[in-house]
Protein backbone atom coordinates (compact mmCIF):
# COMPACT_ATOMS: atom_id res chain seq x y z
CA UNK A 1 0.00 0.00 0.00
CA UNK A 2 1.41 3.39 -0.97
CA UNK A 3 1.68 6.17 1.55
CA UNK A 4 -0.82 8.42 -0.23
CA UNK A 5 -3.65 5.95 0.21
CA UNK A 6 -6.03 6.77 3.07
CA UNK A 7 -6.10 4.55 6.13
CA UNK A 8 -8.99 2.16 6.46
CA UNK A 9 -11.23 2.80 9.47
CA UNK A 10 -11.96 -0.27 11.57
CA UNK A 11 -14.88 -0.31 14.01
CA UNK A 12 -14.35 -2.49 17.09
CA UNK A 13 -17.29 -3.31 19.34
CA UNK A 14 -17.21 -4.95 22.80
CA UNK A 15 -20.58 -6.24 23.97
CA UNK A 16 -19.96 -6.77 27.71
CA UNK A 17 -21.98 -4.39 29.86
CA UNK A 18 -21.57 -5.35 33.53
CA UNK A 19 -18.78 -2.88 34.29
CA UNK A 20 -16.11 -5.50 34.93
CA UNK A 21 -12.92 -5.96 32.92
CA UNK A 22 -12.40 -9.43 31.51
CA UNK A 23 -10.18 -11.23 29.07
CA UNK A 24 -12.07 -9.93 26.05
CA UNK A 25 -11.27 -6.34 27.04
CA UNK A 26 -7.57 -7.10 27.35
CA UNK A 27 -7.50 -8.99 24.05
CA UNK A 28 -9.18 -6.07 22.31
CA UNK A 29 -6.75 -3.65 23.93
CA UNK A 30 -3.82 -5.66 22.57
CA UNK A 31 -5.27 -5.45 19.06
CA UNK A 32 -5.91 -1.72 19.20
CA UNK A 33 -2.51 -0.97 20.75
CA UNK A 34 -0.66 -3.00 18.11
CA UNK A 35 -2.72 -2.08 15.06
CA UNK A 36 -0.68 -0.87 12.09
CA UNK A 37 -1.58 2.82 12.13
CA UNK A 38 -0.09 3.36 8.69
CA UNK A 39 -2.89 1.24 7.23
CA UNK A 40 -5.73 1.25 9.77
CA UNK A 41 -7.48 3.72 12.04
CA UNK A 42 -9.41 2.22 14.99
CA UNK A 43 -12.73 3.38 16.39
CA UNK A 44 -13.69 1.49 19.56
CA UNK A 45 -17.22 1.22 20.95
CA UNK A 46 -18.33 0.06 24.40
CA UNK A 47 -21.72 -0.15 26.09
CA UNK A 48 -20.44 0.67 29.57
CA UNK A 49 -17.65 2.48 31.37
CA UNK A 50 -14.90 0.28 32.81
CA UNK A 51 -11.43 0.45 34.29
CA UNK A 52 -9.59 0.08 30.96
CA UNK A 53 -11.52 2.88 29.25
CA UNK A 54 -8.78 5.51 29.86
CA UNK A 55 -6.20 3.26 28.19
CA UNK A 56 -8.41 2.81 25.14
CA UNK A 57 -9.20 6.54 24.98
CA UNK A 58 -5.49 7.37 25.06
CA UNK A 59 -4.75 5.39 21.90
CA UNK A 60 -7.94 5.50 19.83
CA UNK A 61 -11.22 7.28 19.34
CA UNK A 62 -13.46 5.59 21.90
CA UNK A 63 -17.22 5.83 22.41
CA UNK A 64 -19.54 4.61 25.16
CA UNK A 65 -23.09 4.07 23.98
CA UNK A 66 -26.00 3.54 26.41
CA UNK A 67 -27.93 0.39 25.59
CA UNK A 68 -31.30 1.57 26.93
CA UNK A 69 -32.40 3.06 23.62
CA UNK A 70 -32.84 -0.39 22.07
CA UNK A 71 -33.52 -2.57 25.12
CA UNK A 72 -36.64 -4.66 24.41
CA UNK A 73 -39.80 -3.62 26.22
CA UNK A 74 -41.15 -6.19 28.68
CA UNK A 75 -44.75 -5.19 29.31
CA UNK A 76 -47.71 -7.36 28.36
CA UNK A 77 -46.74 -10.67 29.97
CA UNK A 78 -49.64 -11.03 32.39
CA UNK A 79 -52.91 -12.97 32.27
CA UNK A 80 -56.31 -11.90 31.02
CA UNK A 81 -58.36 -11.27 27.91
CA UNK A 82 -55.99 -8.64 26.57
CA UNK A 83 -52.79 -10.57 27.20
CA UNK A 84 -52.56 -12.08 23.68
CA UNK A 85 -53.04 -8.82 21.71
CA UNK A 86 -50.73 -7.02 24.12
CA UNK A 87 -48.06 -9.65 23.54
CA UNK A 88 -48.38 -9.18 19.77
CA UNK A 89 -48.24 -5.41 20.22
CA UNK A 90 -45.13 -5.76 22.37
CA UNK A 91 -43.45 -7.90 19.74
CA UNK A 92 -44.36 -5.40 17.03
CA UNK A 93 -42.96 -2.52 19.07
CA UNK A 94 -39.74 -4.42 19.76
CA UNK A 95 -39.38 -5.32 16.10
CA UNK A 96 -39.75 -1.69 15.07
CA UNK A 97 -37.24 -0.63 17.73
CA UNK A 98 -34.86 -3.34 16.52
CA UNK A 99 -35.14 -2.12 12.93
CA UNK A 100 -34.53 1.41 14.13
CA UNK A 101 -31.35 0.28 15.85
CA UNK A 102 -30.08 -1.31 12.65
CA UNK A 103 -30.87 1.85 10.68
CA UNK A 104 -28.91 3.94 13.21
CA UNK A 105 -25.99 1.54 12.98
CA UNK A 106 -26.00 1.69 9.18
CA UNK A 107 -25.90 5.49 9.37
CA UNK A 108 -23.07 5.31 11.90
CA UNK A 109 -21.01 3.04 9.65
CA UNK A 110 -21.52 5.27 6.63
CA UNK A 111 -21.09 8.60 8.40
CA UNK A 112 -17.85 7.43 10.01
CA UNK A 113 -16.55 5.88 6.78
CA UNK A 114 -16.04 2.50 8.38
CA UNK A 115 -14.29 0.05 6.03
CA UNK A 116 -14.34 -3.01 8.29
CA UNK A 117 -16.41 -4.01 11.33
CA UNK A 118 -14.67 -6.24 13.90
CA UNK A 119 -16.96 -7.54 16.65
CA UNK A 120 -15.10 -8.72 19.72
CA UNK A 121 -17.17 -11.34 21.51
CA UNK A 122 -19.28 -13.92 19.70
CA UNK A 123 -21.55 -14.61 16.74
CA UNK A 124 -24.36 -14.99 19.31
CA UNK A 125 -24.17 -11.26 20.01
CA UNK A 126 -23.97 -8.05 17.97
CA UNK A 127 -26.59 -9.20 15.44
CA UNK A 128 -27.68 -5.62 14.84
CA UNK A 129 -24.13 -4.68 13.88
CA UNK A 130 -23.88 -7.66 11.54
CA UNK A 131 -27.07 -6.69 9.71
CA UNK A 132 -25.92 -3.08 9.59
CA UNK A 133 -22.57 -4.05 8.10
CA UNK A 134 -24.27 -6.21 5.47
CA UNK A 135 -26.66 -3.40 4.53
CA UNK A 136 -23.83 -0.86 4.42
CA UNK A 137 -21.79 -3.13 2.16
CA UNK A 138 -18.96 -3.39 4.70
CA UNK A 139 -17.21 -6.68 5.58
CA UNK A 140 -17.72 -7.93 9.12
CA UNK A 141 -15.53 -10.31 11.10
CA UNK A 142 -16.18 -11.69 14.60
CA UNK A 143 -13.73 -12.84 17.25
CA UNK A 144 -15.29 -15.82 19.02
CA UNK A 145 -14.09 -15.57 22.62
CA UNK A 146 -16.63 -17.73 24.43
CA UNK A 147 -18.24 -21.15 24.57
CA UNK A 148 -21.97 -21.25 23.89
CA UNK A 149 -24.14 -24.27 24.55
CA UNK A 150 -26.10 -23.65 21.38
CA UNK A 151 -26.09 -21.55 18.27
CA UNK A 152 -29.51 -20.53 17.01
CA UNK A 153 -30.61 -20.73 13.41
CA UNK A 154 -30.08 -16.96 13.20
CA UNK A 155 -26.54 -17.31 14.60
CA UNK A 156 -25.67 -19.97 12.04
CA UNK A 157 -27.26 -18.09 9.14
CA UNK A 158 -25.46 -14.87 9.98
CA UNK A 159 -22.20 -16.75 10.44
CA UNK A 160 -22.29 -17.88 6.80
CA UNK A 161 -22.43 -14.26 5.65
CA UNK A 162 -19.58 -13.02 7.81
CA UNK A 163 -16.25 -12.34 6.19
CA UNK A 164 -14.54 -14.44 8.88
CA UNK A 165 -15.03 -15.93 12.34
CA UNK A 166 -11.91 -16.02 14.51
CA UNK A 167 -12.03 -18.38 17.50
CA UNK A 168 -9.21 -17.90 19.98
CA UNK A 169 -8.63 -21.66 20.37
CA UNK A 170 -9.18 -24.93 18.54
CA UNK A 171 -11.47 -25.94 21.40
CA UNK A 172 -13.87 -23.12 20.50
CA UNK A 173 -13.73 -23.94 16.79
CA UNK A 174 -14.53 -27.61 17.37
CA UNK A 175 -17.29 -26.62 19.80
CA UNK A 176 -18.88 -24.34 17.19
CA UNK A 177 -18.68 -26.84 14.35
CA UNK A 178 -20.20 -29.60 16.51
CA UNK A 179 -23.19 -27.29 17.04
CA UNK A 180 -23.82 -26.61 13.40
CA UNK A 181 -21.72 -23.54 12.56
CA UNK A 182 -20.30 -23.80 9.04
CA UNK A 183 -16.49 -24.21 9.30
CA UNK A 184 -15.87 -22.72 5.85
CA UNK A 185 -15.12 -19.23 7.16
CA UNK A 186 -13.62 -20.12 10.55
CA UNK A 187 -9.89 -19.62 11.22
CA UNK A 188 -8.22 -20.08 14.60
CA UNK A 189 -5.94 -17.28 15.80
CA UNK A 190 -4.34 -17.76 19.19
CA UNK A 191 -4.22 -14.50 21.12
CA UNK A 192 -0.71 -13.53 22.15
CA UNK A 193 1.23 -11.40 24.58
CA UNK A 194 4.11 -8.98 24.20
CA UNK A 195 6.66 -10.34 26.66
CA UNK A 196 8.48 -7.00 26.72
CA UNK A 197 5.57 -5.11 28.28
CA UNK A 198 4.11 -7.69 30.68
CA UNK A 199 6.15 -6.80 33.72
CA UNK A 200 5.62 -6.28 37.42
CA UNK A 201 4.93 -2.65 38.25
CA UNK A 202 5.55 -3.25 41.96
CA UNK A 203 8.29 -5.55 43.27
CA UNK A 204 7.24 -8.60 45.31
CA UNK A 205 8.68 -7.06 48.47
CA UNK A 206 6.33 -4.10 48.20
CA UNK A 207 3.22 -6.24 47.85
CA UNK A 208 4.34 -8.54 50.65
CA UNK A 209 4.72 -5.51 52.88
CA UNK A 210 1.29 -4.16 51.92
CA UNK A 211 -0.38 -7.46 52.82
CA UNK A 212 1.74 -8.12 55.89
CA UNK A 213 3.64 -11.14 54.59
CA UNK A 214 7.09 -12.36 55.55
CA UNK A 215 9.77 -12.88 52.86
CA UNK A 216 9.82 -16.66 53.36
CA UNK A 217 6.07 -17.30 53.00
CA UNK A 218 5.16 -19.28 49.85
CA UNK A 219 2.61 -17.48 47.70
CA UNK A 220 0.23 -19.03 45.21
CA UNK A 221 -2.71 -17.40 43.50
CA UNK A 222 -5.49 -17.15 40.95
CA UNK A 223 -6.20 -14.12 38.78
CA UNK A 224 -9.68 -13.43 37.39
CA UNK A 225 -13.03 -11.92 38.26
CA UNK A 226 -14.71 -13.57 41.26
CA UNK A 227 -17.35 -15.70 39.56
CA UNK A 228 -18.59 -19.17 40.31
CA UNK A 229 -17.56 -20.63 36.96
CA UNK A 230 -14.02 -19.32 37.45
CA UNK A 231 -13.53 -21.96 40.15
CA UNK A 232 -12.33 -19.95 43.14
CA UNK A 233 -14.27 -22.39 45.33
CA UNK A 234 -12.05 -25.23 44.07
CA UNK A 235 -9.01 -23.12 44.96
CA UNK A 236 -10.36 -22.55 48.48
CA UNK A 237 -10.88 -26.28 48.92
CA UNK A 238 -7.33 -26.93 47.68
CA UNK A 239 -5.91 -24.20 49.90
CA UNK A 240 -7.35 -25.93 52.96
CA UNK A 241 -5.31 -29.02 52.02
CA UNK A 242 -2.16 -27.13 51.07
CA UNK A 243 -2.19 -25.21 54.36
CA UNK A 244 -1.97 -28.51 56.25
CA UNK A 245 1.40 -29.15 54.60
CA UNK A 246 2.54 -25.51 54.47
CA UNK A 247 0.80 -23.59 57.30
CA UNK A 248 2.31 -20.26 56.22
CA UNK A 249 1.20 -20.48 52.58
CA UNK A 250 -0.85 -17.53 51.29
CA UNK A 251 -3.18 -17.66 48.31
CA UNK A 252 -4.08 -14.44 46.50
CA UNK A 253 -7.46 -14.09 44.80
CA UNK A 254 -6.87 -11.22 42.38
CA UNK A 255 -10.04 -9.93 40.75
CA UNK A 256 -13.27 -8.02 41.20
CA UNK A 257 -16.72 -9.27 42.15
CA UNK A 258 -19.83 -7.68 40.67
CA UNK A 259 -22.83 -7.05 42.96
CA UNK A 260 -24.38 -10.23 41.54
CA UNK A 261 -21.27 -12.21 42.52
CA UNK A 262 -21.07 -10.88 46.08
CA UNK A 263 -22.97 -13.88 47.55
CA UNK A 264 -20.40 -16.20 45.97
CA UNK A 265 -17.54 -14.13 47.40
CA UNK A 266 -19.18 -14.25 50.82
CA UNK A 267 -19.50 -18.01 50.58
CA UNK A 268 -15.80 -18.35 49.83
CA UNK A 269 -14.93 -16.21 52.85
CA UNK A 270 -17.20 -18.29 55.10
CA UNK A 271 -15.55 -21.50 53.85
CA UNK A 272 -12.12 -20.14 54.68
CA UNK A 273 -13.19 -19.00 58.12
CA UNK A 274 -14.89 -22.27 59.00
CA UNK A 275 -11.80 -24.22 57.92
CA UNK A 276 -9.54 -22.01 60.03
CA UNK A 277 -7.45 -20.82 57.06
CA UNK A 278 -8.84 -17.29 56.72
CA UNK A 279 -5.34 -15.91 57.37
CA UNK A 280 -4.02 -17.91 54.41
CA UNK A 281 -6.09 -16.01 51.83
CA UNK A 282 -6.07 -12.47 50.45
CA UNK A 283 -8.86 -11.05 48.29
CA UNK A 284 -7.46 -8.02 46.48
CA UNK A 285 -10.41 -6.85 44.39
CA UNK A 286 -9.66 -5.34 40.99
CA UNK A 287 -5.99 -4.58 40.42
CA UNK A 288 -4.64 -2.52 37.56
CA UNK A 289 -1.32 -4.40 37.72
CA UNK A 290 -2.14 -8.11 38.01
CA UNK A 291 1.32 -8.88 36.64
CA UNK A 292 2.80 -7.59 39.90
CA UNK A 293 0.85 -10.21 41.84
CA UNK A 294 1.71 -12.98 39.41
CA UNK A 295 5.35 -11.94 39.71
CA UNK A 296 5.49 -12.90 43.38
CA UNK A 297 3.66 -16.23 43.04
CA UNK A 298 5.44 -19.55 43.13
CA UNK A 299 2.53 -21.19 41.34
CA UNK A 300 -0.21 -19.64 39.23
CA UNK A 301 -3.55 -21.45 39.36
CA UNK A 302 -6.24 -21.55 36.73
CA UNK A 303 -9.36 -23.29 38.05
CA UNK A 304 -12.41 -22.69 35.83
CA UNK A 305 -15.06 -25.36 36.40
CA UNK A 306 -16.50 -24.72 32.95
CA UNK A 307 -14.34 -24.96 29.81
CA UNK A 308 -12.31 -21.78 29.47
CA UNK A 309 -12.35 -20.48 25.88
CA UNK A 310 -8.66 -19.68 26.08
CA UNK A 311 -7.42 -18.34 29.40
CA UNK A 312 -5.15 -15.33 28.79
CA UNK A 313 -4.03 -15.46 32.42
CA UNK A 314 -2.20 -18.69 31.60
CA UNK A 315 -0.07 -16.79 29.09
CA UNK A 316 0.46 -14.04 31.66
CA UNK A 317 1.92 -16.66 33.98
CA UNK A 318 4.07 -18.16 31.23
CA UNK A 319 5.52 -14.77 30.30
CA UNK A 320 6.69 -14.37 33.90
CA UNK A 321 8.14 -17.89 33.95
CA UNK A 322 5.62 -19.26 36.43
CA UNK A 323 4.53 -22.91 36.45
CA UNK A 324 0.79 -23.07 35.76
CA UNK A 325 -1.60 -25.57 37.29
CA UNK A 326 -4.70 -25.24 35.13
CA UNK A 327 -8.15 -26.71 34.75
CA UNK A 328 -8.11 -29.46 32.11
CA UNK A 329 -10.79 -28.05 29.83
CA UNK A 330 -11.09 -25.62 26.97
CA UNK A 331 -8.13 -23.76 25.51
CA UNK A 332 -5.93 -24.28 28.58
CA UNK A 333 -4.88 -27.71 27.34
CA UNK A 334 -3.60 -26.04 24.16
CA UNK A 335 -1.20 -23.90 26.20
CA UNK A 336 -0.05 -26.00 29.16
CA UNK A 337 2.13 -28.96 28.26
CA UNK A 338 1.47 -31.57 30.94
CA UNK A 339 4.49 -32.15 33.15
CA UNK A 340 6.63 -29.76 31.10
CA UNK A 341 5.30 -26.22 31.54
CA UNK A 342 2.94 -27.08 34.39
CA UNK A 343 0.10 -29.43 35.20
CA UNK A 344 -3.59 -29.75 34.46
CA UNK A 345 -6.35 -31.26 36.58
CA UNK A 346 -10.00 -32.19 36.02
CA UNK A 347 -12.30 -29.20 36.66
CA UNK A 348 -13.31 -29.08 40.31
CA UNK A 349 -10.73 -31.65 41.47
CA UNK A 350 -9.40 -29.83 44.54
CA UNK A 351 -7.43 -32.88 45.72
CA UNK A 352 -5.29 -33.12 42.58
CA UNK A 353 -4.92 -29.35 42.43
CA UNK A 354 -3.66 -29.33 46.01
CA UNK A 355 -1.27 -32.22 45.32
CA UNK A 356 0.28 -30.43 42.34
CA UNK A 357 0.64 -27.17 44.25
CA UNK A 358 2.23 -28.96 47.21
CA UNK A 359 4.65 -30.70 44.82
CA UNK A 360 5.75 -27.43 43.20
CA UNK A 361 6.09 -25.55 46.48
CA UNK A 362 8.25 -28.38 47.78
CA UNK A 363 10.41 -28.62 44.65
CA UNK A 364 11.51 -25.10 43.68
CA UNK A 365 13.91 -26.42 41.03
CA UNK A 366 11.11 -28.23 39.21
CA UNK A 367 8.92 -25.13 39.45
CA UNK A 368 11.72 -23.07 37.93
CA UNK A 369 12.28 -25.54 35.08
CA UNK A 370 8.57 -25.59 34.27
CA UNK A 371 8.41 -21.82 34.35
CA UNK A 372 11.31 -21.53 31.92
CA UNK A 373 9.76 -24.12 29.61
CA UNK A 374 6.49 -22.18 29.67
CA UNK A 375 8.27 -18.97 28.70
CA UNK A 376 9.96 -20.68 25.75
CA UNK A 377 6.63 -22.07 24.61
CA UNK A 378 5.02 -18.66 24.78
CA UNK A 379 7.82 -17.09 22.74
CA UNK A 380 7.54 -19.82 20.12
CA UNK A 381 3.76 -19.92 19.70
CA UNK A 382 1.86 -17.21 21.57
CA UNK A 383 3.47 -13.84 20.93
CA UNK A 384 1.49 -10.72 20.17
CA UNK A 385 3.74 -10.08 17.16
CA UNK A 386 2.70 -13.36 15.58
CA UNK A 387 -0.95 -12.75 16.38
CA UNK A 388 -0.96 -9.28 14.85
CA UNK A 389 0.88 -10.43 11.72
CA UNK A 390 -1.93 -12.92 11.20
CA UNK A 391 -4.61 -10.35 12.04
CA UNK A 392 -3.19 -7.82 9.60
CA UNK A 393 -3.10 -10.55 6.94
CA UNK A 394 -6.77 -11.28 7.66
CA UNK A 395 -7.72 -7.61 7.39
CA UNK A 396 -5.85 -7.22 4.12
CA UNK A 397 -7.36 -10.33 2.56
CA UNK A 398 -10.89 -9.44 3.68
CA UNK A 399 -10.67 -5.89 2.37
CA UNK A 400 -9.22 -7.12 -0.93
CA UNK A 401 -11.92 -9.83 -1.06
CA UNK A 402 -9.30 -12.55 -1.28
CA UNK A 403 -9.53 -16.09 0.17
CA UNK A 404 -8.30 -16.50 3.74
CA UNK A 405 -5.47 -19.04 4.13
CA UNK A 406 -6.44 -22.14 6.09
CA UNK A 407 -3.05 -23.56 6.99
CA UNK A 408 0.06 -22.48 8.93
CA UNK A 409 0.28 -18.86 9.90
CA UNK A 410 -3.29 -18.79 11.13
CA UNK A 411 -2.99 -20.62 14.42
CA UNK A 412 -2.95 -24.16 13.10
CA UNK A 413 0.82 -24.60 13.31
CA UNK A 414 0.84 -24.52 17.12
CA UNK A 415 1.69 -27.95 18.53
* Residues sharing a CB contact under 8 Å with residue 255, sequence separation 6 or more, in sequence order: 222, 223, 224, 225, 226, 230, 284, 285, 286, 287
Q: What are the helix (H) ranges across 60-203?
A: 83-111, 127-136, 153-161, 170-178
- Say if 337 falls within a structural domain: yes
* pLDDT recorded at residue 71: 57
365 and 392 in a single domain? The answer is no
Same domain membership, residue 55 and residue 176: yes
- 414 inside domain: no
Residues 249 and 306 in one domain: yes
pLDDT of residue 369: 98
**Domain assignment of residue 406, yes or no:** no
Task: Name the domain count of the chain.
Answer: 2
Same domain as 31, residue 105: yes
Query: What's the pLDDT score for residue 412?
Result: 42
What pLDDT, on the 0 to 100 scale, is given for residue 409? Answer: 46
Same domain, yes or no, for 225 and 370? Answer: yes
Q: In what order do the strands lie in the sheet with 114-119?
A: 61-64, 40-46, 8-13, 114-119, 140-144, 164-167
Dist CA 42 CA 9 (whole Å)? 6
Residue 62 parent element (H or E) = strand 61-64
Examine residue 2 and state whether it is found in any structural domain, yes or no.
no
pLDDT at 82: 46
Instruction: Please list the residues that pair with 60 across neighbouring strands.
Output: none
Query: What is the CATH classification number for the domain harbouring 298?
Result: 3.40.50.2000
Q: Determine the Cα–Cα distance for residues 61 and 91; give it in Å rounded to an integer.
A: 36
96 found inside a domain: yes
pLDDT for 94 equals: 73
- Domain assignment of residue 115, yes or no: yes
DSSP 179-233: TT--GGGB------B-TTT---SS-HHHHHHHTT--TT--EEEEES---GGGTHH
Looking at the fold, whether 210 and 357 belong to one and the same domain comes out as yes
Q: What is the pTM of this model?
A: 0.78
Residue 413 covered by a domain: no
Range of the domain at 329: 204-381
Residues 262, 387: one domain? no
Whether 211 and 178 map to the same domain: the answer is no
Residues 20 and 149 in one domain: yes
Distance (Å, whole) CA 275 – CA 277: 6
303 and 344 together in one domain: yes
pLDDT in tens, the chain (415 residues): 445 678 999 999 998 877 777 778 988 999 999 999 999 999 999 988 888 999 999 999 999 987 544 555 555 555 554 455 666 666 777 778 888 889 999 999 999 999 999 999 999 988 999 999 999 999 999 999 888 889 999 999 999 999 999 999 999 999 999 999 999 999 999 988 888 888 888 999 999 999 999 999 999 999 999 999 999 999 999 999 999 999 999 999 999 999 999 999 999 999 999 999 999 999 999 998 999 999 999 999 999 998 888 888 999 999 999 999 999 988 899 999 999 999 999 999 999 999 999 999 999 999 999 999 999 999 998 999 999 999 999 999 999 999 887 654 444 434 3
- Asked whether residue 217 falls in the same domain as residue 185, the answer is no
Same domain, 247 and 395: no
How far apart CA 93 and CA 343 sit, in angstroms, is: 53
Amino acid sequence: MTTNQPRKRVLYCESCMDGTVGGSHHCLLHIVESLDRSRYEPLVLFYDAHALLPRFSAIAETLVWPVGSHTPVRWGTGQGMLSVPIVFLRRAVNFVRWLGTIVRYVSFIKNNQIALVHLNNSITRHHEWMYAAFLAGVPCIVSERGLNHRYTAADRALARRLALIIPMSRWIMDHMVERGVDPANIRVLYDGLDASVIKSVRPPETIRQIYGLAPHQPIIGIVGNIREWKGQETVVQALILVAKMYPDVVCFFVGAATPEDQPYLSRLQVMLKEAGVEANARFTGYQSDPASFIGMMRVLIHASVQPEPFGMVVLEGMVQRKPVVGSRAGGVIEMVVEGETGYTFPPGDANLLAARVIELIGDPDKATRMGEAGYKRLMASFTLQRYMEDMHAVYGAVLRKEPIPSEAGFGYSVK
